């Protein structure tokens, strides 16, 4: 759709992901891949690059845009989580339980024994923990990268766990400088990949706005 709107487009996957061969070494190893993609794009005559990424690809672009000489960033649901278990991020758990407490049906389930108490306790234990913003934490490094980056728009699906965690981190001290530079836009959706037609249309409009 973006190409049909008249803009040149290059889509790529990092090594070992999707259509790319090689070994996946994680998003923090993608500086060379991003720079190579930007260089290949420019070789075709492109003079301005707006880079889009979702999840850890968004965070990778925030970290490595300088090497690729990217002119603007459009980052969807950036990854800011240093997880040590298989539970959702703490901020997402808090949001999840806050919604459940408003639902009378959930209280009825609890009374009737339809709730896994052990799972609830485990979730509440994690929910009580704040995401680290220590100097070398992922959130702190992401905040610093966004504070010194090119014009940046961040897109969040407000019901997505990754987006909820980022929105929570974005309120913290590590993102103080970034908040003055970054434009934040939120969609009322829980789709991490903007899967519905409505979500896709919303995303398409934001992509065109970034390219204009």
Predicted confidence (pLDDT) at residue 100 exceeds the cutoff of 70: no
Res. 106 pLDDT band, cuts 50 70 90: low
Structure confidence by residue, pLDDT tens digits, 198-208: 999 999 999 99
Cα 160 to Cα 75, 91, 188: the distances in Å are 14, 11, 10
Return the percentage of the chain with pLDDT > 70, whole number.
Answer: 75
> d(Cα 175, Cα 187) in Å, to the nearest integer?
21
Domain 1-82+133-212, classified CATH 3.30.70.141, yes or no: no
pTM across the whole model = 0.77
Going from N- to C-terminal start, the domains of the chain cover 1-82+133-212, 85-130
Strand partners of residue 53 = 75
**53 φ/ψ angles, rounded to the nearest 5 degrees:** -150, 155
Predicted confidence (pLDDT) at residue 189 exceeds the cutoff of 70: yes
């Amino acid at each position: 759709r973006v190409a049909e709107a008249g803009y040149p487009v290059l889509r790529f996957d990092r090594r070992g992901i999707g259509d790319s061969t090689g070994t996946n070494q994680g998003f923090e190893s993608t500086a060379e891949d991003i720079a190579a993609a930007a260089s290949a794009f420019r070789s075709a005559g492109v003079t301005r690059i707006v880079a889009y990424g979702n999840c850890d690809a968004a965070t990778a672009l925030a970290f490595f845009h300088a090497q690729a000489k990217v002119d603007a960033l459009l980052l969807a649901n950036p990854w800011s989580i240093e997880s040590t278990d298989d539970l959702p991020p703490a901020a997402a758990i808090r949001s999840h339980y806050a919604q459940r407490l408003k639902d009378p049906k959930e209280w009825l389930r609890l009374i009737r024994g339809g709730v896994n108490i052990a799972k609830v306790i485990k979730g509440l234990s994690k929910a009580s923990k704040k995401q680290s913003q220590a100097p070398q934490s992922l959130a702190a490094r992401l905040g610093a990268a966004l504070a010194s980056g090119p014009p940046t728009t961040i897109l969040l699906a407000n019901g997505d766990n990754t987006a909820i965690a980022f929105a929570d981190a974005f309120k913290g001290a590590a993102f103080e400088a970034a908040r003055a530079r970054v434009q934040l836009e939120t969609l009322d959706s829980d789709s991490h990949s903007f899967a519905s037609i409505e979500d896709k249309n919303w995303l398409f409009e934001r992509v065109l706005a970034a390219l204009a």
